Amino acid sequence: MEVRLAKTAGFCFGVKRAVDTVYQQVEECKNEKIYTYGPIIHNEEVVKDLRSKGVEVIETEEELKQLTSGVVIIRSHGVSKHIYNILEDQGLKCVDATCPFVKKIHRIVEKESGDGAHIIIIGDEKHPEVQGIQGWSHTPVTIIKTEEQAVNFKMPENTKICIVSQTTFNYNKFKYLVEIISKKKYNVNVLNTICSATKERQTEAQNVADEVDVMIVIGDKHSSNTQKLFEICRSACADTYYIQTLDDLNMNQLKSVKTVGITAGASTPSNIIEEVQNYVRFNF
């Protein structure tokens, strides 16, 4: 059987960097307690493994304020400036694994709001990355996700506006919302800060799914980017299966097929991908 593994399957650059940072800290800081501010990725297996190595997850700002010693790792989503201030006030050591692409948005928002622009973030207000970006503005921010919100957005004419985007936002939707806002009489500066990693993973998954008999998508059931990958693959290949680990793979589905494609969501560790790949490669 021929197995085609998507090159972009699994962790993107920023997530890999953040996860590697935690494991590196575990090795280096044997005498200090290590925390991550929020789960480092949305993958139960990884969080469980880190917990077994003594890494604790801090869920809230209040919990953070209770700490008086230890190392706190900031995940790839980034955090607001306010959180860095708390870390400093509490005398905690901060290891910053914010993805550089997110960090860049923080700098834009800090500078542009400081120069008097009103900031619009195109994204989901509940997403921690968006909340972090918002926390770098000197002035109140507008978060827009829907057509209705874009239509209803109102400011005085000629207001200086700077638009940025959540890194994982859909490009076509971003363009559409920006068009609506740009038609109004503002002085608009648009900075497309969407990261290409998601798009590349989706395009490659579709190309692989187009050419195989069966497609396997690996990822956490709660991962929205894996769900999206599954939808894309299923529309290209009817026999597409969504699994979390090798245990979920139904062997009967793979009997008598010639080619199998594999891809994985952004929070799927490489050892799970390899395990599935090796199993399919050597057992069929």
Number of residues that bind ligand F3S (CB under 6 A): 13
Closer residue to ligand F3S, CB minimum distance, 36 or 260:
36
**Which span (13-21, 29-37, 142-150, 183-191) binds ligand F3S, by CB under 6 A?**
13-21
Q: Give kind and range of the element (H or E) at residue 273.
A: helix 270-283
Indicate which single residue of 34, 46, 87, 197 sits in contact with ligand F3S (rule: CB under 6 A).
197
To the nearest whole angstrom, how small is the minimum distance from the Cβ of residue 12 to ligand F3S? 3
To the nearest whole angstrom, how small is the minimum distance from the Cβ of residue 201 to ligand F3S? 9
> Could you tell me which of 55, 17, 20, 11 has the C-alpha nearest to residue 272?
11
Q: Per-residue x/- mask for ligand F3S, residues 97 to 116, rule CB under 6 A?
A: --x-xx--------------
Rule CB under 6 A: is residue 117 a binding residue for ligand F3S?
A: no
Indicate which single residue of 6, 12, 122, 216 sits in contact with ligand F3S (rule: CB under 6 A).
12
122 phi and psi angles, rounded to 5 deg: -85, 110
Q: Which of 129, 200, 204, 231 is catalytic?
A: 129
Work out whether strand 259-264 and strand 2-5 pair parallel, antiparallel, or are unpaired.
Answer: parallel
104 phi and psi angles, rounded to 5 deg: -60, -40
**Which span (94-102, 106-114, 149-157, 254-262) binds ligand F3S, by CB under 6 A?**
94-102
What helix, strand, coil percent values describe the chain, rounded to 5? 45, 20, 35
To the nearest whole angstrom, how small is the minimum distance from the Cβ of residue 16 to ligand F3S? 8
> Could you tell me which of 55, 14, 11 has the C-alpha nearest to residue 37?
55
51 phi and psi angles, rounded to 5 deg: -60, -40
Closer residue to ligand F3S, CB minimum distance, 17 or 175:
17
Instruction: Tell me how far apart the 2 most distant CA atoms of the chain are, in Å.
Output: 66
Please confirm, yes or no, whether 129 is among the known catalytic residues. Answer: yes
Q: Which residue is nearest to ligand F3S (CB)?
A: 14
Q: Give kind and range of the element (H or E) at residue 37.
A: strand 34-37
Query: ∠92-136-148 over CA atoms, to 5°?
Result: 135
Per-residue 3-state assignment (H helix, E strand, C coil) for 41-75: CCCHHHHHHHHHCCEEEECCHHHHHHCCCCEEEEC
To the nearest whole angstrom, how small is the minimum distance from the Cβ of residue 75 to ligand F3S? 9
Rule CB under 6 A: is residue 198 a binding residue for ligand F3S?
A: yes
Rule CB under 6 A: is residue 123 a binding residue for ligand F3S?
A: no
To the nearest whole angstrom, how small is the minimum distance from the Cβ of residue 171 to ligand F3S? 13
User: Applying CB under 6 A, which residues contact ligand F3S?
Assistant: 12-15, 76, 99, 101-102, 167-168, 195, 197-198
